[in-house]
Amino acid sequence: MTRAYSIAFKQKMLQRLTGGNAVSAAQLCRETGVRQQNLSRWLTEARSLPLVATDKPTIREWTVEQKARVLADASTLNGEELTAHLEREGIKLAEFEQWRLALEEGGRASTATTRRIRKLERELTRKEKALAEVAALLVLKKTIESVYHDEDEGIDGTSEN
């Protein structure tokens, strides 16, 4: 017996298959219980439709006041209420969390991030130098082994022992 799925549900599944942080049909099948064949068929059907919207996604620029309003409105919400509120506003949870953390840290996040990046860059440079040194030592070792190996063999190619 086949189960009828709403258009909204299918669109939500297609968004999970194609949007940011997209997952495979097999993974979505495990998460939702919808058969993988259905998910794959919906994806194929959606790809065969002509494009209606433009290829360029519109990126909304948020002002500080708008961000503050969204953060204030969401301050008392949690769980599904928060998720629904963010969907209505067109904000991803990760973006919301980034705004919230920036507000809590009072701008210190960018300084701390810059400091961490510099530290990681210094560590990477140090490791690259160490790797180059090890590579040079390996080449030298092979060269020495090759020279000693040639000395062990006589001129006529036979062993001197």
In a domain, 111, yes or no: no
* Predicted local confidence at residue 159, as pLDDT: 55
In a domain, 124, yes or no: no
Tens digits of residue pLDDT in 121-130: 999 999 999 9
In a domain, 133, yes or no: no
List of residues 6+ apart from 109 with CB closer than 8 A: 101, 102
> Among 95, 94, 103, 28, which residue's Cα sits nearest to residue 64?
103
In a domain, 57, yes or no: no
In a domain, 77, yes or no: yes
Map residue 160 onto helix, strand or coil: coil
State the DSSP H helix or E strand holding residue 42, giving kind and residue range, or none if neither.
Answer: helix 36-48
In a domain, 118, yes or no: no
Query: Rounded to 5 degrees, what are φ and ψ at 35?
Result: -60, 140
In a domain, 34, yes or no: yes
First to last CA, the chain: 84
Specify whether 69 is located in the same domain as 41. Answer: no
Q: Domain count of the chain?
A: 2
In a domain, 56, yes or no: no
State yes or no: pLDDT of 105 exceeds 80: no
State percent of the chain over pLDDT 70: 82
Q: CA–CA separation, 122 vs 132, rounded Å?
A: 16
Looking at residues 63-81, what average pLDDT do you find?
Answer: 84
Residue 13 near residue 32, CB atoms below 8 Å? yes
Q: CA–CA separation, 135 vs 81, rounded Å?
A: 57
Residue 100 CB neighbour total at 10 angstroms: 15
For residue 12, what are its two tokens?
């939500």
pLDDT band at 140 (very low <50, low <70, confident <90, very high): very high
Q: CA–CA separation, 30 vs 41, rounded Å?
A: 16
Instruction: Give the structural domain span for 84.
Output: 64-105
Looking at residues 76-102, what average pLDDT do you find?
Answer: 82
Looking at residues 107-117, what average pLDDT do you find?
Answer: 68
Specify whether 71 is located in the same domain as 96. Answer: yes
